[in-house]
Amino acid sequence: MAVAVQPSSETKKPSQGVGLYAASIAGAAYVLVAAAVVLRIIPELWERAIGPGLTSATNSFVSTALLIIIQVAAAAGLLYGGSRLGSGKKAAGLRGGIFFMIAAAFVVFFCVRFFLIHAGRGFNFGSVVAMLFNAVIVFLVVQFFRTGRFTEWSVALDQGGWFEARSYKRTQGLRVRRLTILGLLLLAGSGIWTLMNHNYLPQNRTVKLPDGQEVSSRTGDWVIGGTLKEPTRGESPEENRARPRVEGGVTLLPDLQFTIPLLLIAASLWFAWRAVNYPTFGDFLIATEAEINKVSWTSRRALFRDTIVVLTSLFLLTLFLFVVDVFWSWLLSRDIVHVLPTAADRAAQVSTDKSPEPVKDW
């Protein structure tokens, strides 16, 4: 016996994904700890325990090269470990959730830090406006998680393959996709070149201390919690003129003059690669190349012949317009017609312009 089942009229909304929240927080914590180990802990331990002795025994190039090798090996090991930890049953949208968790943590941290700094300095119109702007940003972040968009956007990022190295229909539309990658990289490269060439990025400078020691000013580093110290009279003002230095704090990124361009280059390469492999955009590029392949391109001989015809027609048309213009100028300037100034009128006007001005007796 057949039983008719009435379909539900309610659309099923995606759940808030409590498991996705917990997994994203754990993954974000693992990524941040791994980044701290690779970028901060390993260099600090190397500089305190191994670096000075190795530099004195060999040279600074060998010490720096070994440090980079150790950092790359540690990053590869931590990346492999993280992939193995998440190799089981994963919540949908986990990679996108980790990305949004890290981005939200950075945004909220700097907004709260801005509040604390300006609250201690006092209030004026500019600081109040800036604090209201930061409050709106924090409110939008809270709404992003509260309304469930976190789950939707995280799943959308994962389904779009933004955090995967696989290519979408890799054998189709190769020429158009490669040209699209080249165009995106040229746009990003022009912006990066502008940043570097016009000195828009902060730079470190050398500051000489009273004891003669030369140290980095750290004004070109990304320092959290440091204090800006202006040069004093006892610190060789001629050499330290307009060279303040940052003391204390934690350096998140050293040498922003070089670190930011490198990060932007890496992000541009990844974005260009993933953009042409995004399913919707990838299908559009594939269809574009298919339509281009249907075009009947003219031969080289026909193109040369058609170009000669166009240039000849353009020359003849220009000559015709010139002759017509000269003829009508001559005809309309005759005494019988007198629409344009005649030769006598033009001569009289020239003589009037050249006559000296009358002397005024004051």
State pLDDT tens for residues 203-216.
Answer: 888 777 666 677 77
114 plus 221 within the same structural domain: no
CA dist., res. 80 & res. 73, Å (int): 11
At 12 the pLDDT is: 45
In a domain, 79, yes or no: yes
At 317 the pLDDT is: 97
In a domain, 155, yes or no: yes
In a domain, 360, yes or no: no
In a domain, 158, yes or no: yes
249 plus 306 within the same structural domain: no
β-partners of residue 208 are 214
Question: Range of 220's domain?
Answer: 206-254
Domain count, the chain: 3
In a domain, 259, yes or no: no
150 plus 232 within the same structural domain: no
Last residue of a domain, one of 220, 237, 254: 254
In a domain, 262, yes or no: no
At 357 the pLDDT is: 58
Q: Which of 222, 240, 221, 220 is nearest to 232 (CA)?
A: 240
Question: Which residues make Cβ contacts (< 8 Å) with residue 121, sequence separation at least 6?
Answer: 127
22 plus 119 within the same structural domain: yes
**Positions in the chain whose pLDDT score sits under 70:** 1-18, 51, 55-59, 86-90, 120, 209-212, 231-243, 353-362
What does the block give as tokens for 87? 């190799």
Q: Which residue has the tokens 């007796």?
A: 361
In a domain, 66, yes or no: yes
Cα–Cα–Cα angle for 69, 62, 78, rounded to 5 degrees: 15
In a domain, 78, yes or no: yes
Contact call for residues 137 and 61 (beta carbons, < 8 A): no
150 plus 45 within the same structural domain: yes
112 plus 233 within the same structural domain: no
Contact call for residues 145 and 104 (beta carbons, < 8 A): yes
At 232 the pLDDT is: 61
217 plus 306 within the same structural domain: no
158 plus 219 within the same structural domain: no
245 plus 305 within the same structural domain: no
pLDDT in tens, 67-103: 889 988 998 998 888 877 766 666 778 888 999 999 9
104 plus 48 within the same structural domain: yes
For residue 251, give the H/E element and its range. Answer: strand 250-253
At 2 the pLDDT is: 47
Which stretches does DSSP call E strand in 210-249?
214-216, 222-224, 227-229, 245-247
156 plus 230 within the same structural domain: no
Last residue of a domain, one of 226, 254, 282: 254
75 plus 211 within the same structural domain: no
